[in-house]
Amino acid sequence: MTDYLDAVIVEHNPTNKKIDRAVIWLHGLGASGHDFEPVVPQLGLADNMAVRFIFPHATKRAVTVNGGMVMPAWYDILEMSLERKIDVAQIEESAQQINDLISREVERGVSPEHIVIAGFSQGGAVAYHVALGYPKRLAGLMTLSTYLATNDNIDYSAANKDMPILIEHGSHDPVVPVVLGEQAQQLLSDKGYNVAYHTYPMAHQVCMPQIQAIGTWLNAVLA
């Protein structure tokens, strides 16, 4: 029996239809699944859409760059250089936990092509790993204020070569420099992916114009 990650579940379903869309959205380091829960009503999703948002809680683990402090983390960060030395095995372990959540949604009747994988900061690094390697077509990949940590370890899936990818970043981000978002955009564009890239005049956070833009994008890719 699969041991699923605990998660906050929010459903957008104004007309009480059978849920047939899903967004699995991963939080950042030291946060929780509650972080993006308040965003759902602000997205302006279409009334005829029945979407389940799954906001999983990361496992608690020691984080080297934070003095070994134990906190919710998708993986250990060993060094805060621009290249970000990380524990790749832990990213792969977290990615498998997200793959299990995808499988659960499929069992509930949501097709993979109607599932978006999203993540902020650390969660975005795992979202990249999951979606780019997933063997069936997904609805889209959304990565916020993050970086592509595992390019050399991803088994890029041909099924998702035309998957819409949304990369968003704060131009004043002191935690994950905007150059890392640009690098991910360039690398994926060079590989032939359909990437939309936006920056906002903000730090390591989200802002209301961005949330509205995310809603517009979700309405399009989940339609």
pLDDT digits (tens, 9 = 90+) for 191-202: 999 999 999 999
**Active-site residue flag, 173:** yes
The active-site residue, picked from 121, 129, 145, 169, is 121
Full 3-state SS string of the chain: CCCCCCEEEEEECCCCCCCCEEEEEECCCCCCCCCCHHHHHHCCCCCCCCEEEEEECCCEEEEHHHCCEEEECCCCEEECCCCCEECHHHHHHHHHHHHHHHHHHHHCCCCHHHEEEEEECHHHHHHHHHHHHCCCCCCEEEEECCCCCCHHHCCCCHHHCCCEEEEEEECCCCCCCHHHHHHHHHHHHHCCCEEEEEEECCCCCCCHHHHHHHHHHHHHHCC
The active-site residue, picked from 57, 172, 198, 204, is 204
**pLDDT reading at 81 higher than 90:** no
pLDDT computed for residue 121 by the predictor: 97
**Active-site residue flag, 121:** yes
| 208-222 pLDDT per residue, tens | 999 999 999 999 999
Q: Whole-structure pTM over 0.75, yes or no?
A: yes
What average pLDDT does the segment 131-158 reach? 97
**pLDDT reading at 126 higher than 90:** yes
